[in-house]
């Protein structure tokens, strides 16, 4: 959807630029969009699983070549029908498993189709389907976040010296820089990548073969099916596979919730930094929404919607945690509902990282306003106190007190008065304490003040460049991980193709 | 859907009776069912609102008769198309409001359609639509719960003397009766009715006219529109209408959550009471599910699913509460997401009370097993202690101690030994303390023991009949309230019809 | 604590005025404050219950006068020790019930004390204690909210004409007035009062006598004990009393969560309206916090803390809902944890309404800034569009389009140009459409513009006065309800005194 | 506390054995226990941090040796007072930082004490304190879970052949073994260890030096302080440190929530397996609770309480996630509340793994009952169907159908009839299908049936032994990780001692 735009938004002609369709859809939510049956999205995964299970039954001599061939031919045909959009979940079939099984019966005959259900249960089947589904969603989401971090890093690269006010309690607190602000978000998203990656690795294990939770008396080969499904291992204990079906989904939901929290913070930052009457940033017209009644509005709906979607993720995570609390070991139908929660989450957040990537890319920064804010409201008071303590060698607390009192004295004028500070310094009795012109030149330059903050992680340019370099290096590691996973899945698909062909092409 | 059954469930031939389709669908969840766009369900409400708004604009002379007629004719036509299923929310129209407005433009001309948006905003429009939607859902849900309570009361009527073990800590604790058990659930559901009714009354007020939150400079008549929408009053302050759009939805979500918690308790009771190897109740085959792999299973899926749906309601309630926390006064797009949460809730719970009503109606009670349990595991120990204290006039604590010690002594045999208790009583030194044959006849009859509990709310028949009568009387009040609401809505619709006809039939 | 102030806050001398101790404590959270054992706060309620239970046992001839006198004398003595702070919950006594029972044993003898436990269980005892505790907390909280609404109403009274910008999407959207803003909050708090009152009434019923859930075989009089505990009725079915012990607590938690959500919205409003560099309101120095490192800061910590406390209430509500989901009917120890959640909630929110009442009372409004904002950023665009539609009789959508285009054209200048609008109007071809000087005088006066919004609930003075009057009237009803409850409790205590005296003074 | 017992529980003499005090306290909750001020537990961490900060200030020449010596001497003295229990958080000092700072002022003089606050803020200080606190709690919790897994493994070792019924939908579903059941829990706890370990590693990074979020203009050495606090790295970007203070706490809360969910499942299993009238397991008397009114009860309160504590963890996790949603970058006071939530969690769950370890260790298994259950209720139907399909070579679905029908036919008798199955097999027309005596010997032996399930993760002995070995090996890795962390912390403390001594012993 990315990149598409359209020209005639419903809210009139106010917004100059083109509108991002991705943004419109992200914000439209479920108002105009239907949802397919939950099991519809599982069709390709269930087909994959069926093929693999059939291959294994044949390899283990549980079904004969004729049956295997009939089943695999049938499944290939269903795959092809599915690609043409011709497989639907019918309510009388209840779910994806019965839908495919009955379709297979039509094509390959009841006899062959019936044998496919040997040595398995809907319990391990659905758990495996969901695991494959969530695994894919994590990978897609992962690479989108990688792109968002890349965007933050490239945006930051041009702003190591762009000063801006930093906030605490929504109040200007200290000078910082735009790059420092962007990197703080990049750091958070990097941790999200770590969590998503860990979740993927911890759960890239096959539950197939757990059957109803107690295994089967058939001579199945769980390692073989795991390999053909691209899992790096088998989730061993069969009861654990079924009892804790919810766990991967909740862990993923939690990992996404963390990301969405970070994104909701970036959202609120964008809303506040673009606040009237003196905005410091301006969101591109493609990503703002007008109003049907108030022609002058440029609303950052995507940011508000992101706050809502974060709450949605929390609510779903909570539901999932609660669902599985105090369950009895073994299958209970409650867990069917975990599937819906995780699907809802990915439906809602899918485009979020890409959308924010575009928003950040096209963001306009009002450097002049940012700089102006750096000399208002006594925002430099701490820097001045520190400077006095450092250069004039008086205790920090004393310097701090002098600045506190000076701010109070100068409150009406709205800015610190050089002479008044000096007067207070003089009262300490040492002439050397006096601030000089050269001092004042530093103390009135936001750039020079922020540059004095040089230590690791500080907003001074020197420190920032190191922070940037480290992030870049770590991002490379994350990207490499992603590429490896993709490669692994590609070779899994090739291997599967070969195994199927071996049977279909055997005479 | 109620009453429909089908003969060929997917899990084979194990279950003897017919299968309830309602149950199948309730348990199938979203596996095979798609969801329409959220705004699709709002179409009739938005049409209603549009008609009412148009009537008001005409009455207040904001639009002329020609325009009003064009608009109303167009809206009537759209209503008729909608009844035929021909109105769809299109993604390029984004929502129900634009969908209808643009359809109206096609039919009545852009000029007339444009005038309909005078003196309102999508903000008050969507809030009003949702309120009408939720109001209807509450009423439907209310009457279904009324039916469930009725079923509990009629089931209880035949079981005032049916003894069963009562549980604490999942352990048999004291004799009670099946009617007492059923009435305890009826009481809880009655409180749910009270909460739902209160919520309805507190929010049966019209937000229409709040516009974007700050009213309009048009001479609108909010009391007139409120009346024609069946509201009993106007939600006055326009900013409050918009800022707190979430509130009715969360309050409803909370009220439903309470109900679903009660239903999840009834579910767990049914699961535990029907537990193997010695079930006390048996759920009708129409409401249990078989297993594709385990032919002997009769699984109470509906009860498990209800536990899950309760968790879903909690999660959505939490999402809604969180969504609105620390919002800024006035409209923010986050609130669009409150609509989805409340719709999800009603989609999931809609059939729950009716389904449970059918399950309770068809439940089989194994009176013999229930009675048998009433003489096992020392369940009568407290009653015996009380009896001794009451009839033999020794302090309660002392009687209790004697029974404690007797239980310990008789643990191996598994039942209390008359003589051993008597031996301990004798040690107290008074001959009159001895339990006699007549005493023992009482003490070994669960029916006679439970009958001794006579005070208000106790499980003895006498007390139960009073409990039943009071519940019956209060249920009548609930039903009357519901009928009154239906009557109010009916007369609203008649009034609306008349107002429209006045204009359409005026020459 | 109200009204107390101290002079030396820890964050230095920046803040001019005196500091509110209530605010300091509200914000200090649990950092410096210990929490007593949970059951310590239940001591007076458990003593009350014990006295009432004893009176009933005597009245029903279950204990004799000598025993009753011994017990009551003992309980009176324990009450008196408790008032002197000499009763502590000891960990070896586990809870309040055993603590009091064993103390009573020491004073009145084991024999008498033992008889007090006749016909009851710790299950109904603890449920009753908690109900008495929560009932008191609701009343206290209720009257504090009444005071907050009163403050909002008196503050609003002086500001019916004080114009300010109204926001949507955090962006200035339309002119409104300070009184309109304040009343929108008052409306929300009024609904909170309704919910709390309803909760109180629905649950002012006695669970005492339910025993372990299955009643007792003693001839107890539950209506008599209910009356002496100030309950208006008996919660009848004994099993319902125990199974649903959580329900009153969750309903209360939910009601408080709604209030805290409203308060968190008011908090966010205060933070945003006092935002630098051009604040519209200024929070009194008594309620802001300085910074140990940034001397210029005046931080609205109480507002931030309120956002956090709202989240805390939601989390506890969720915990409570979850706790009771799918429980088995009858007592389970899980429910002990509901007590802690509701206690935590009241500990955290107790002072909130009073504190906000003080904050609102002492708030300074910068009318000039507010008015200035009303002529910036095209905030009057809608009003002008409406004016043109109304006075020049052109369709709303057309007027809206003209304003949309004019805003776009004038964006650089930052304000609407009379001539440019007129030029567009002229293009429609009718001379009469032209805006004249008199029109412009209205269109550039925020006061005159807002005054044109006259309909029910709008921010125009006329409508506001009606809104104010209705609120005042309804507040009176709320206050009267509170007074009645207090009176009821007073007469309950008198009745209890008389009943006790009858026994103690009988020779 | 472990190992302590007392002889006189409050609920009478019913329970034979000794009572575990740990269990009593775990279940008593907050009834009899007070909570100290939250900051009291931070005292040792804040002292540690202060010492390290002072060493760094000296190393970087920000304070001179005299000041450093004064500060360190003072801090050592406060540490020593704290060990004697003589440091309390006073409400007028608000928090741990001011408490220690003012104490230091008294001891070392205001001048020296004041200098310690150079180049830092309460923001980074409190974040660091909390990180140190949570890090310690994770380690303690980790090693307790290690012990629980060890117990599960040693218990399982003796039960590879102990058959029991496995459940789905709370109904007996298939034969499994006690070892299989125990290992399924061990697997889940192993994942909990992985998550806790990952969380520890991801967050073992120092936020100290972030100051108020924007660093400091002092030449601080963050890597040096990180090393002396035992962190393996520095959390670099200073704004990220402050904005995302909540993140480690929520991630930990989530990790604990997963564990508690697993424990709540084990709890429910214990409750259901010990259910009357035919319990399969028996919890040791030390861990059950009696009833004050029902002498025969042995209640597994610890299991119920665990369900509640799991809900508590979820609610706190939700609160924490919600708290930080849509915050503005930089410090906001809301985050102070995250500290309380994580402290509450650890207070509640601290003893849980150890307690369960003891419960599992002392659990009595009724092998006879377990085995008996394995021949009831057609639990072997699937195994028989599989056997027929395997040995008689008929399609699985067909074998399954035959068993389905046979169960239905034999329902009244309650057990499968050999001849009836054979009759159905015969109808298929092949004599070879007939089940023979030898077959029936297998089919009526639960042990032999379960042994046929041999594949990876199945409950057959062969598979179980492999599962057990792998778990044992992985547990070793977890233990080694723990030991390494302890070693790292030990050497950190030695290094700190040396650094301090260098200064204090320098002349």
pLDDT in tens, C104-156: 999 999 889 989 989 999 999 999 999 999 999 999 999 999 999 999 999 99
**Residues across chain D:** 507
Confidence of residue A6 (pLDDT cuts 50, 70, 90): very low
> Which pLDDT value is given to residue A2?
33
Q: Is D293 on the interface with B (CB under 8 A)?
A: yes
**Mean pLDDT, rounded, for D257-262:** 98
> Which pLDDT value is given to residue A293?
54
**Mean pLDDT, rounded, for A298-317:** 97
Instruction: Report whether pLDDT(A274) > 70.
Output: yes
Q: Is D10 on the interface with B (CB under 8 A)?
A: no
Helix, strand or coil, per DSSP, at residue C327: coil
**Mean pLDDT, rounded, for B409-422:** 87
> In the structure encoding, which two tokens stand for residue B285, read together?
């085959």
> Which pLDDT value is given to residue C15?
43
Residue C335, min C-alpha distance to chain B (Å): 11
> Exactly one of A291, A329, A404, A491 is catalytic; which is it?
A291
Closest-CA residue to A168 (of D241, B452, D106, D114): D241
The span from the CA of B27 to the CA of B322, in Å, is 29
The span from the CA of A31 to the CA of A25, in Å, is 10
Host H or E run for residue D206: strand D205-206
Instruction: Find residue B206's DSSP bridge partners.
Output: B234
Closest-CA residue to A387 (of A437, A454, A452, A447): A452
Closest partner residue to B334 among A38, A304, A340, by Cβ? Answer: A304
> Exactly one of C154, C291, C322, C329 is catalytic; which is it?
C291
Q: Which stretches within C204-237 are classed as H helix?
A: 222-228
Helix, strand or coil, per DSSP, at residue B289: strand
Q: Is C35 on the interface with D (CB under 8 A)?
A: yes
**Mean pLDDT, rounded, for B107-126:** 92
**Mean pLDDT, rounded, for B439-455:** 95
Summarize pLDDT for D73-132 with one digit per residue, the tens.
Answer: 999 999 999 999 999 998 888 899 999 999 999 999 988 998 998 999 999 999 999 999
Q: Is D491 on the interface with B (CB under 8 A)?
A: no
Residue with tokens 């060493």: D55
Least confident of B9-23, C261-275, D269-283, D407-421: B9-23
**Mean pLDDT, rounded, for C447-465:** 97
**Mean pLDDT, rounded, for B386-394:** 90
> Which pLDDT value is given to residue A295?
60
Residue D6, min C-alpha distance to chain A (Å): 30
The span from the CA of D344 to the CA of C95, in Å, is 20
Please judge whether D237 and A180 are an interchain contact, meaning their C-beta atoms are less than 8 angstroms apart. yes
Residue B144, min C-alpha distance to chain D (Å): 27
**Mean pLDDT, rounded, for B457-481:** 98
Closest partner residue to D29 among C34, C299, C336, by Cβ? Answer: C336
Yes or no: say if D307 and C335 are a contact pair by the CB < 8 Å rule.
no
> Which pLDDT value is given to residue A378?
87
Helix, strand or coil, per DSSP, at residue C19: strand
> Which pLDDT value is given to residue A261?
98
The span from the CA of B401 to the CA of B418, in Å, is 16
In chain D, what percentage of residues exceed pLDDT 90? 83
Residue A396, min C-alpha distance to chain D (Å): 6
Instruction: Report whether pLDDT(B159) > 70.
Output: yes
Instruction: Find residue C289's DSSP bridge partners.
Output: C299
- Using a CB-CB cut-off of 8 Å, the residues of chain A touching D114 are 395-398
State which residue of chain B sits closest to D408, comparing Cα positions: B14
Least confident of A413-417, C46-50, C235-239: A413-417
> In the structure encoding, which two tokens stand for residue D422, read together?
């054979």
> In the structure encoding, which two tokens stand for residue D329, read together?
């970058």
Q: Is B122 on the interface with A (CB under 8 A)?
A: yes
Where are any strands of DSSP class E within D111-200? 163-168, 171-177
> In the structure encoding, which two tokens stand for residue D45, read together?
């961490």
Summarize pLDDT for B194-242 with one digit per residue, the tens.
Answer: 999 999 999 999 999 999 999 999 999 999 999 999 999 999 999 999 9
Question: Which of C260, C334, C345, C347 would best serve as a mutation to test chain D binding (most D beta carbons within 10 A)?
Answer: C334
The span from the CA of B123 to the CA of B113, in Å, is 18
The span from the CA of D64 to the CA of C403, in Å, is 68
> Exactly one of B80, B154, B291, B491 is catalytic; which is it?
B291
Summarize pLDDT for D8-50 with one digit per residue, the tens.
Answer: 444 343 344 578 899 999 999 999 999 999 999 999 999 999 9
**Mean pLDDT, rounded, for D396-409:** 85
Confidence of residue A17 (pLDDT cuts 50, 70, 90): low
Taking a contact as any Cβ pair under 8 Å apart, which residues of chain D between 214 and 233 contact chain A?
214-223
> In the structure encoding, which two tokens stand for residue A188, read together?
């958070």
Please judge whether A377 and C277 are an interchain contact, meaning their C-beta atoms are less than 8 angstroms apart. yes
| A291 labelled catalytic | yes
Instruction: Report whether pLDDT(D495) > 60.
Output: yes
Residue B418: how many CB atoms within 10 A of its CB? 17
Q: A195 vs A254, A262, B334, CA distance in Å? A: 9, 13, 27
> Which pLDDT value is given to residue A9?
40
- Using a CB-CB cut-off of 8 Å, the residues of chain D touching C91 are 25, 28, 32-33
Closest-CA residue to D502 (of D68, D67, D61): D68
Summarize pLDDT for A25-56 with one digit per residue, the tens.
Answer: 999 999 999 999 999 999 999 999 999 999 99
Helix, strand or coil, per DSSP, at residue A378: coil
Instruction: Report whether pLDDT(A461) > 80.
Output: yes
Summarize pLDDT for C216-226 with one digit per residue, the tens.
Answer: 999 999 999 99
Q: What is the DSSP string of B50-111?
A: HHHHHHHHHHTTSS-HHHHHHHHHHHHHHHHHHHTT-----GGG-SHHHHHHHHHHHHH-HH
Confidence of residue D415 (pLDDT cuts 50, 70, 90): confident
> Which pLDDT value is given to residue B445?
96
Contacts of C115 by beta carbon, 8 Å cutoff, 6+ apart: B395, B396, B397, C57, C63, C67, C71
Residue with tokens 């309601």: B313
Closest partner residue to A217 among D180, D223, D390, by Cβ? Answer: D390
Q: Is A296 on the interface with C (CB under 8 A)?
A: yes
Closest partner residue to C261 among B311, B324, B460, by Cβ? Answer: B324
Considering Cα of D113, then D115, then D116, then D121, what sign does the dihedral take?
positive
State which residue of chain D sits closest to B311, comparing Cα positions: D311
Summarize pLDDT for C2-55 with one digit per residue, the tens.
Answer: 333 333 444 444 344 578 899 999 999 999 999 999 999 999 999 999 999 999
Of residues A284 and A15, which shows the higher confidence score?
A284
Please judge whether D403 and B318 are an interchain contact, meaning their C-beta atoms are less than 8 angstroms apart. no
Please judge whether C377 and A296 are an interchain contact, meaning their C-beta atoms are less than 8 angstroms apart. yes
Please judge whether C247 and B191 are an interchain contact, meaning their C-beta atoms are less than 8 angstroms apart. yes
What is the Cα A76 distance to its own chain's centre? Answer: 34
Please judge whether A377 and C318 are an interchain contact, meaning their C-beta atoms are less than 8 angstroms apart. no
State which residue of chain B sits closest to D376, comparing Cα positions: B277
Confidence of residue C90 (pLDDT cuts 50, 70, 90): confident
> Which pLDDT value is given to residue C16?
46
- Using a CB-CB cut-off of 8 Å, the residues of chain C touching B242 are 168
- Using a CB-CB cut-off of 8 Å, the residues of chain B touching D322 are 322, 325
Yes or no: say if A114 and A60 are a contact pair by the CB < 8 Å rule.
no
Instruction: Report whether pLDDT(B11) > 90.
Output: no
Closest-CA residue to A64 (of A110, A112, A121): A112
The span from the CA of A474 to the CA of A149, in Å, is 11
Q: Is B191 exposed, middle or buried (0-12, 13-18, 19+ CB in 10 A)?
A: buried
**Mean pLDDT, rounded, for C421-435:** 90
Yes or no: say if B417 and B440 are a contact pair by the CB < 8 Å rule.
no
> Which pLDDT value is given to residue D281?
97
The span from the CA of A338 to the CA of A407, in Å, is 56
> Which pLDDT value is given to residue C411?
80
Please judge whether A174 and D212 are an interchain contact, meaning their C-beta atoms are less than 8 angstroms apart. yes
> Which pLDDT value is given to residue C398?
85
Please judge whether B202 and C220 are an interchain contact, meaning their C-beta atoms are less than 8 angstroms apart. no
Residue B265, min C-alpha distance to chain D (Å): 15
The alpha carbons of chain D give a radius of gyration, in whole angstroms, of 30
Summarize pLDDT for C169-181 with one digit per residue, the tens.
Answer: 999 999 999 999 9
Q: What is the DSSP string of D25-89?
A: HHHHTTSS--B--GGGGGHHHHHHHHHHHHHHHHHTTSS-HHHHHHHHHHHHHHHHHHHTT----
Q: Is D271 on the interface with B (CB under 8 A)?
A: yes
Confidence of residue D292 (pLDDT cuts 50, 70, 90): low
- Using a CB-CB cut-off of 8 Å, the residues of chain C touching D293 are 117, 121-122, 211-212
Taking a contact as any Cβ pair under 8 Å apart, which residues of chain D between 324 and 363 contact chain C?
332-337, 340-341
| Pairing mode, strands A205-206 and A233-234 | parallel
Rounded to 5°, angle at Cα C299 from C185 and A414: 110
> Which pLDDT value is given to residue D305?
98
Summarize pLDDT for B264-300 with one digit per residue, the tens.
Answer: 999 999 999 999 889 999 999 999 987 655 666 789 9
Closest-CA residue to D272 (of D314, D307, D308): D307
> In the structure encoding, which two tokens stand for residue B314, read together?
């909690």
Yes or no: say if B173 and B166 are a contact pair by the CB < 8 Å rule.
yes
Summarize pLDDT for D144-189 with one digit per residue, the tens.
Answer: 999 999 999 999 999 999 999 999 999 999 999 999 999 999 999 9
Closest partner residue to A389 among D118, D251, D327, by Cβ? Answer: D118
- Using a CB-CB cut-off of 8 Å, the residues of chain D touching A217 are 383, 386-387, 390, 449, 452-454
> In the structure encoding, which two tokens stand for residue B246, read together?
């979430």
Of residues A404 and C438, which shows the higher confidence score?
C438
Q: Is D291 on the interface with A (CB under 8 A)?
A: no
Of residues B405 and C450, which shows the higher confidence score?
C450
> Which pLDDT value is given to residue D93?
83
* CATH number given to A1-34+131-162+176-368: 1.20.200.10
> Which pLDDT value is given to residue C397?
79
Question: Mean pLDDT score of chain B, rounded to an integer?
Answer: 93
Residue D255, CB half-sphere, CA atoms under 13 Å: how many?
A: 30
**Mean pLDDT, rounded, for A314-336:** 97
Summarize pLDDT for D441-492 with one digit per residue, the tens.
Answer: 999 999 999 999 999 999 999 999 999 999 999 999 999 999 999 999 999 9
> Which pLDDT value is given to residue A54?
98
Yes or no: say if A258 and A195 are a contact pair by the CB < 8 Å rule.
yes
Chains that touch B (3 or more CB pairs under 8 A): A, C, D
User: What string of H, E and C letters represents the secondary structure of C83-120?
Assistant: HCCCCCCCHHHCCHHHHHHHHHHHHHCHHHHHHCCCCC
Helix, strand or coil, per DSSP, at residue A117: coil
Please judge whether D458 and A215 are an interchain contact, meaning their C-beta atoms are less than 8 angstroms apart. yes
> Which pLDDT value is given to residue B1?
33
Of residues A416 and B58, which shows the higher confidence score?
B58
Tell me: domain B35-119, CATH 1.10.275.10, correct?
yes
Closest partner residue to C325 among B237, B310, B459, by Cβ? Answer: B310
Host H or E run for residue B392: helix B381-392
Instruction: Report whether pLDDT(B12) > 50.
Output: no
Closest-CA residue to D146 (of D354, D355, D360): D354
- Using a CB-CB cut-off of 8 Å, the residues of chain D touching B304 are 169
């Amino acid at each position: 959807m990315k990149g598409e735009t359209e020209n005639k938004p419903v809210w009139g002609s106010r917004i100059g630029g083109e509108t991002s369709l991705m943004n419109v859809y992200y914000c439209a939510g479920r108002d105009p969009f239907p949802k397919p049956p939950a099991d519809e999205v599982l069709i390709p995964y269930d087909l994959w699983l069926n093929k693999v299970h059939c291959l294994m039954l044949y390899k283990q001599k549980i079904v004969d070549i004729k049956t295997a061939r009939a089943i695999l031919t049938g499944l290939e045909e269903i795959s092809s029908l599915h690609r043409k959009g011709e497989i639907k979940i019918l309510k009388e079939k209840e779910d994806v498993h019965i839908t495919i099984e009955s379709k297979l019966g039509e094509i390959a005959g009841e006899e062959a189709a019936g044998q496919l259900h040997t040595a398995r249960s809907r319990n391990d089947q659905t758990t495996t389907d969901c695991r494959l589904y969530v695994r894919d969603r994590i990978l897609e989401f992962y690479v989108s976040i990688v792109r968002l971090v890349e965007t933050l890093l490239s945006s930051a690269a041009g702003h190591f010296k762009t000063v801006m006010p930093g906030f605490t309690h929504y109040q200007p607190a200290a000078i910082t820089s735009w790059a420092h602000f962007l990197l703080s978000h990049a750091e958070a998203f990097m941790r999200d990548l770590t969590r998503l990656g860990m979740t993927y690795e911890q759960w890239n294990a096959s539950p197939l073969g757990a059957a109803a939770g107690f295994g089967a008396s058939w001579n199945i080969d769980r390692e073989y099916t795991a390999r053909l499904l691209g899992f790096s291992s088998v989730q061993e204990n069969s009861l654990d596979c079924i009892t804790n079906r919810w766990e991967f989904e909740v862990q993923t939901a939690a990992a996404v919730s963390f990301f969405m929290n970070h994104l909701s913070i970036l959202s609120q930052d964008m809303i506040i930094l673009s606040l009237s009457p003196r905005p410091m940033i301006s969101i591109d017209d493609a990503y703002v929404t007008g109003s049907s009644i108030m022609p002058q509005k440029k609303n950052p709906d995507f940011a508000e919607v992101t706050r809502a979607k974060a709450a949605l993720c929390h609510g779903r995570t909570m539901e999932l945690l609660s669902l599985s609390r105090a369950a009895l070991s073994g299958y209970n139908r409650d867990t069917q509902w975990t599937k819906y929660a995780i699907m809802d989450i990915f439906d809602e957040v899918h485009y979020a990282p890409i959308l924010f990537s575009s928003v950040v890319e096209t963001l306009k920064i009002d450097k002049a306003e940012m700089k102006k804010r750096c000399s208002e409201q006594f925002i430099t008071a701490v820097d001045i106190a520190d400077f006095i303590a450092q250069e004039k060698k008086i205790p920090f607390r004393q310097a701090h007190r002098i600045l506190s009192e000076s701010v109070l004295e100068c409150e009406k004028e709205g800015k610190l008065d050089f002479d008044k500070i000096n007067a207070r310094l003089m009262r300490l009795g040492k002439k050397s304490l006096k601030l000089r012109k050269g001092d004042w030149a530093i103390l009135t330059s936001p750039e020079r003040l922020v540059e004095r903050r040089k230590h690791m992680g500080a907003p001074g340019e020197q420190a920032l460049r190191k922070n940037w370099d480290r992030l870049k290096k770590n991002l490379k590691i994350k990207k490499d991980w992603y590429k490896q996973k993709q490669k692994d899945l590609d070779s899994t698909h090739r291997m599967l193709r070969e195994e199927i062909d071996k049977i279909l092409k055997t005479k």
